[in-house]
Amino acid sequence: MTLHPISIPETEESLAVQPELEGKNFGPRFFAYLIDGVCLWLVSLAVGYSFRYVMGFVVVFLANLLGKSYYYDTQLEMAVWDTLIDVAVAISYFALFESLYGASPGKVLLRMRVVTTQGENVSVRQALVRGVFRLFDGLFFAIPAITRMREPLYQRYGDAQADTMVIDRSSLADENHRPLSYFLAALFLYWLIVNLQHLFDLLLRSSFL
């Protein structure tokens, strides 16, 4: 007796082919980056003023409590440290929003998402790799990024190293859409990091005499 395999009828769903993802080119991504630059500046400015206003009262109160004078050294040269910290904070901005929500505020406004080349959400490691290589991609007016991007993925060097790409939000699979709470979580964590940055600066420049 010969056994024959059972054939399963093909349905429209089984015949459906996942369309290839198409990346966003340099133009929209550049405008998203400009928006993110403004966001970085505004958050730093807002946190800086509010933090120093609140902490000023706290420090003066402690100085009076200890019977000492408080001194804040505005002339202390920390250009290298300041630059390194600013770079680290900027990388954390993109890494947090892209790993948790799939897009920075600039990309959200322009309806873009960062995904893997398979269309999945990016990991923290991938978001960090993109952030670090952004320093190289942005050199010389973003010439490395522009010359690297090719159809259909339009990957800059950071994308290629992280196996990621930027797509239109409408191309994102339904199961990869994340709720607004993830965006708010990224915003809170970034706000916390900026506060720690200002606290670090305050501790380095302050002294009780």
- What are the tens digits of pLDDT across the range 55-104? 777 777 777 777 776 666 666 667 788 888 899 999 999 999 999 999 99
Q: Which two tokens stand for residue 51?
A: 């933090």
How far apart CA 132 and CA 155 sit, in angstroms, is 15
Low-confidence ranges of the chain (pLDDT < 50): 6-18
208 forms beta bridges with 70
- In 3D, which of 130, 117, 122, 175 has the Cα closest to residue 29? 130
Amino acid at position 139, single letter: L
Mean pLDDT of the residues in the chain: 84
Cβ atoms of residues 139 and 110 within 8 Å: no
What gap in Å lies between CA 104 and CA 119, rounded to an integer? 17
Q: How many other C-beta atoms can be found within 10 angstroms of the C-beta atom of residue 90?
A: 17
pLDDT of residue 76: 66
Packing angle, helices 79-100 and 180-205, rounded to 10: 170
pLDDT for 16:
37
**Residue 180 contacts residue 87 (beta carbons within 8 Å):** no
What is the 8-class DSSP label of residue 118?
T
Tell me how far apart the 2 most distant CA atoms of the chain are, in Å.
101
Structure confidence at residue 79 (pLDDT): 75
Which residues contact residue 86 at a Cβ distance below 8 angstroms, ignoring those fewer than 6 apart?
Answer: none
Alpha helices in the chain (DSSP H): 12-15, 26-66, 79-100, 105-109, 124-137, 139-148, 157-162, 180-205
DSSP three-state, residue 153: coil
Q: For position 198, what pLDDT does the model report?
A: 84
